[in-house]
Structure 1
Amino acid sequence: MKPADLPGLLAWARAELAAAPRELLGEVVTPRMLGIPRAPRVVLRDEAWHLGVLLLGPVDLYATGEIVRSREPARRGYTAESQRARAGLAEAAFRGGILPGVAVHLGWQRLDVSLIGEVASVDVGPLAVIDGQLRVRWSTAGGFMDAESYVRERVELARHPPQGAT
């Protein structure tokens, strides 16, 4: 797929996914009252369809970050500091007004798709132009695959999730 074809592919994907549910994109903020920091909370910034390493919003394209499910604060014991940090993010989502159990994407990155195609070889998040073709790095350890094939496959999965998927 040529980089110039990306806007058309994204428009097609948005049309195909119009009736599919979107997921929340949030940002962790630490509000202040009288200069004193309060407990962090998640503020909603956008909604998007989750297409693997990409998040397709109504206007923008994003790279995924971390996904947490909102949950009420509770006293818990943790064996790892990473568990404690993740629980803190889930509780911040709850404090931000996200219902318990609802997934929210954090640490996402808006992709400037206008940069794609301006130079012969460019990386924009998980997207890259290699030998004049637009590719997607589908995992940090994985290789690249054709962007059109990747997006079409992910749109099909979003429209028709496998049996038993939630």
Structure 2
Amino acid sequence: MARSIEMANRAIYHVAGEDDSLSGMGTTLTAIRFSPERQRAYVAHVGDSRCYRFRDGEMRQLTKDHTLGAELGAKGKMATHLSRSVGISESVEVDLMVDAPRVGDRYLLCTDGLTKMITEDRIQVIVTEGEIGACVQGLIDEANENGGKDNITVALIEIRDPADAGMV
């Protein structure tokens, strides 16, 4: 996963370098991949998009924001300034982590368009109450109702028993 992100980073960086109108172009990225038997979840991360795991009523943020506020304790407008993103420089440092999924776990991948508009407490309530599709729509709707100041991307994955579901 890291190698793929590094390749994407170089491609974005070089395209932006060839066109002045794209100068400074970059993005954040949070990705998850499960091993074939779902014993492991591999998370790759750059920026301030996030991955959360919900298990037994508990919500845990698996990623750490790459912002000046999170890394250096910056305040005000500087707090949300990205310290790492894909495409801004020729190389990128990718955070990689491994988690051990259990049946019933839910993994939420989301952009800051969600987390800046809804509190983590409210995210937990929405994600743990109901079917996947309704939860995703509820998150997006509430973020938009709260002002929706940025784009909102949400992916919610539930780990199911392979004998019951046949898929993740």
Question: When the two structures are superposed, what TM-score results if normalisation uses the length of structure 2?
Answer: 0.24
Which has the greater radius of gyration?
1
Structure ranking higher in strand proportion: 1
More helix by share: 2
TM-score normalised per structure 1:
0.25
